[in-house]
């Protein structure tokens, strides 16, 4: 039930309607505040502690030594007080992408971060594989990511098929493979809400 504060007393919505109807209470703008559910959720989410994440780079050419996105995310995850639970580079092949998705869903990682293979070229298949698997899609991630990308690269942002959603109780996030895109997604979207996202999975 949505709760409000009237004259410094916390009451329920039905109580408010009843009191106002009977003339026993009235609204005063300075003393009526809606408690934000998202604020409360974030407060609870902060109790999660260190969150285990997995990083998957989809690329036909990168190695652990040249995978700048993997190196960047590993450092950022640790810097934020979280843990890298699994890491792998896979080729942009549907079978390999699906295999790593299934494998990492068996690990302790609560959030799986894919980068690469989100464009519209023939070899870009990450979105196609993941979109068939997601049980709940989080469309706001892709929408906001493309909006922010537009500020950096202009109309080319529409070529990105960045996406996110839930599969087997894990949050799956997929971004383009350019270092700028990975950094944008991490700094502007993921890091600020990481605890909240992980908490939403299990509450």
| pLDDT for 2 | 42
Q: Return per-residue pLDDT of the chain as tens, 203 residues.
A: 443 343 434 445 455 455 545 655 544 444 444 456 666 555 554 555 899 999 999 999 999 999 999 999 999 999 999 999 999 999 999 999 999 999 999 999 999 999 999 999 999 999 999 999 999 999 999 999 999 999 999 999 999 999 999 999 999 999 999 999 999 999 999 999 999 998 887 66
Domains delineated in the chain: 3-35 (no CATH), 45-202 (3.40.980.10)
Whole-number Å distance between alpha carbons of 76 and 126: 23
Give the bridge partners for 53, in sequence order: 84, 111
Give the bridge partners for 83, in sequence order: 52
Q: Please give the model's pTM, rounded to 2 decimal places.
A: 0.78
| pLDDT for 13 | 47
- Mark 79-97 as b/e (b = at least 16 C-beta within 10 Å): ebebebbbbbbbbbeeebb
Whole-number Å distance between alpha carbons of 55 and 6: 48
Whole-number Å distance between alpha carbons of 172 and 187: 17
Residues 6+ apart with CB under 8 A from 23: none
Decide if 55 contacts 84 (C-beta within 8 A): yes
| pLDDT for 1 | 41
Query: Strands, DSSP E only, in the chain?
Result: 3-6, 9-12, 33-34, 52-58, 83-90, 111-115, 136-137, 163-167, 170-175
Q: Residue 34: phi, psi to the nearest 5? A: -80, 130
| pLDDT for 143 | 98
């Amino acid at each position: 039930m949505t709760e409000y504060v009237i004259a410094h007393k916390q009451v329920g919505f039905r109580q408010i309607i009843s009191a106002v109807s009977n003339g026993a209470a009235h609204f005063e703008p300075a003393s009526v505040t809606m408690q934000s559910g998202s604020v409360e959720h974030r407060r609870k989410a902060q109790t999660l502690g260190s969150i285990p994440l997995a990083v998957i780079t989809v690329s036909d050419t990168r190695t652990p030594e040249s995978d700048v996105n993997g190196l960047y995310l590993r450092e950022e995850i640790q810097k934020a007080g979280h843990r890298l639970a699994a890491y792998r580079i896979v080729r942009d092949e549907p079978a390999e992408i699906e295999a790593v998705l299934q494998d990492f869903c068996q690990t302790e990682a609560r959030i799986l971060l894919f980068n690469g293979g989100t464009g519209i070229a023939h070899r870009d298949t990450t979105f196609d594989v993941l979109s068939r698997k997601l049980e709940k899609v989080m469309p706001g991630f892709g929408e906001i990511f493309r909006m922010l990308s537009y500020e950096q690269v202009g109309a080319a942002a529409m070529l990105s098929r960045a996406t996110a959603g839930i599969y087997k109780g894990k949050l799956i996030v997929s971004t383009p493979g350019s270092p700028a895109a990975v950094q944008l997604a991490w700094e502007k979207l993921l890091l600020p809400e990481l605890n909240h996202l992980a908490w939403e999975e299990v509450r």
